[in-house]
Amino acid sequence: MTNEELVERVRGGDADSIEKLLQNNREYLYKLARRLSNNPDVIEDLVQEGSIAILDAAGSYNLAQGVMFLTYATPFIRKAMRSFMAKIYLPMAIPTARYSQLRQVNFLISKFQMEKESVSPKDLFLTICQEMNVSEKVARGLLQDYYTFFQETTLDEQWEQSIPCFEADPAKVYEQKLLAKCIQIALAELAPRERILIQQYRGLDGTHNDDMTFQKLAVLLNYNGHSAAEKAYKRAVKSLRQALYAGEYGEYLRAGQAITGAKRKMWGNY
């Protein structure tokens, strides 16, 4: 069956067509993933992100627009994959095993929302408990962490009233997501050698090696000794910071500083 036929069935409530739609496009997802990373583990994560994006795209696709589904879905897929790559740029204060669980929750929620017209928190809890073999208490904790690290949009009142565990500061969540996106953009603006130097030393390409040293980088990137590699790294980091603060993230910080200054000035008049 074509993607377009499968999407129509998925939107009609045919749960079996979800897996068929994902299988139809699995090779394409791998192709896009390999363009972003050569790490097998990261590639698998990227494919899962792409699978979620396909389900998101299916929810808003309209054949009447005259665009093939895969053409329509590709921007969703690329955005999701790049967003994931940006997220691994930022250190996350959670264990690797927990992060893996959250990714499973992310996939289950997307799949659950495609299968159901209305999302019941109780039914979702049961789905997570059954699929991941965890208790409701653990599922609640997973959802709390999921909201902090993965949720792209604010949950509606039904969710907030039914699950009294979402205590994440929306401003901090937004800033983290904005920084992740801007780091990705700033890295792309660096010279290739600078970008590779930062990615290799900081592990931003998903292949982080705790034993990576400037001596090894000097050999890898043909610098004249570890001292030259270290100096080049510091210059690259400086360039990255300049690119960050010259762009959207800098505008965000300056806006925040202006608001803080205005508040101090206002309260100082009373």
DSSP string of the chain, one letter each residue: --HHHHHHHHHTT-THHHHHHHHHTHHHHHHHHHHH---HHHHHHHHHHHHHHHHHHHHH--GGG---HHHHHHHHHHHHHHHHHHHTTS--SS-HHHHHHHHHHHHHHHHHHHH-SS--HHHHHHHHHHHHT--HHHHHHHHHHHHHHT--S---HHHHHH-TT----HHHHHHHHHHHHHHHHHHHHS-HHHHHHHHHHHTTTS---TT--HHHHHHHHT-SSHHHHHHHHHHHHHHHHHHHHHSHHHHHHHHHHHHHHHHHHHHHT-
In this prediction, residue 148 has a pLDDT band, given cuts at 50, 70 and 90, of low
26/136: higher pLDDT: 26
Residue 165 has pLDDT above 80, yes or no: no
pLDDT tens for 4-58 read: 999 999 888 888 888 999 999 999 999 999 988 888 888 998 999 999 999 888 8
Is domain 1-90 given the CATH code 1.10.1740.10 in the classification? yes
Query: What's the pLDDT at 25?
Result: 94
- Residue spans of the domains in the chain: they are 1-90, 98-168, 170-268
178/149: higher pLDDT: 178
**Is this structure's pTM higher than 0.75?**
no
